[in-house]
Structure 1
């Protein structure tokens, strides 16, 4: 579901400017860039990320978005997990505060998806806290073949449309559907909606 996915891109934007990672990212990007004998300009050209932004990332002076990290990992020909791998063996525990949680917003500005999943799983598992105003619409392109999405409604009423077929879910109900084709999620009715959305990428292909 997230923006900039292999095999499909959601028409949503990241307006959070939130901190996604620790300072380890900058060191890792610089180490991988030098291992490939790439200059900042060459990495910028291959990734589509501005040279100035890459320089700021390496100096830990900026908080990159998920889309930026994805583009850099593709240009460096490594998985996001490797880009984010720490050189230490310290016990792991992470707390993300509400202001630091990245948020994706639908084109109409009425549906907000807080990224509550772990960034290290973004290549195969993504999940979101969805808050929607009545009448809001999230129009999504197809993900790669075999991907499945699950929408579990906590409040309000949602509907999902795929290939012209519409299914509705109310509080306490869930919809699971193939998202390797264009699909539309709407908050219908007069009340705001809330849901948890989970997207499983690279799932087993369903016939």
Structure 2
């Protein structure tokens, strides 16, 4: 009997997902905003914000985008959990390096995509992340705007839709397209897939 030596998609064993609800509640309190006021400013229902803050729902990236705009921060700041707390002494930090254990991780949407933010700096025009798509997973409410997006399939297979163009991609395939075009990424297969997702940011929304 043949036994496959191909490694499985690695389990996520570092720190758990970012507690977006706690961070959102902190940012809202710092600005003395009620849930109703933030809901009106962001165009998101008060019920949705309440669910996010209680940790009972996974917000989509578009929902986070609307909330971050109303709060006057970028997406990286919504996902920053430091909150000014003291950190244990560790290896010397660099402005040019983000350690694996330190990168923010969020679970988004009903498909429960896992997005690990990998950019060392949140004030630069290049952003990149590692996306893990479970079987049947699909990106929801993607952000469309100025700039470029691209990526590289690390493991598994994905389907990329850009405008009317649909491409099935496998390990080692790469892609790039204008961020202004409607687009989606999905995993129609029975195994998880991992993709490095890269964005050039013209507007400081991410």
Report the TM-score when normalising by structure 2: 0.53
Shift of 1:138: 5.6
- Paired residues for 1:45-194 under 5 Å: 45-47=40-42, 48-50=44-46, 53=49, 57=53, 62-63=54-55, 65-67=58-60, 69-82=64-77, 84=80, 86-91=83-88, 102-105=107-110, 113-117=113-117, 124-133=127-136, 143-155=144-156, 157-185=157-185, 187=187, 192=191, 194=193
Gaps of 5+ in 1: 1-17, 107-111
Instruction: Quote the residue 2:14 is aligned against.
Output: none
The Cα RMSD (Å) is 4.5
Whole-Å separation in 1 of the counterparts to 2:133 and 2:172: 15
Shift of 1:129: 1.0
Shift of 1:128: 0.8
Kept in 2, the 8 Å contact 1:127–1:196? The answer is yes
2:37 aligns with one of 42, 51, 55: 42
Deviations 1:150-189 (A, max 9, x none): 141412x44434344444432233333334302344556x
Gaps of 5+ in 2: 1-16, 91-98
Shift of 1:145: 1.6
Shift of 1:32: 1.7
More strand by share: 1
Whole-Å separation in 2 of the counterparts to 1:44 and 1:163: 31
Shift of 1:202: 1.1
Instruction: Quote the residue 1:3 is aligned against.
Output: none
Whole-Å separation in 1 of the counterparts to 2:51 and 2:154: 42
Whole-Å separation in 1 of the counterparts to 2:35 and 2:101: 32
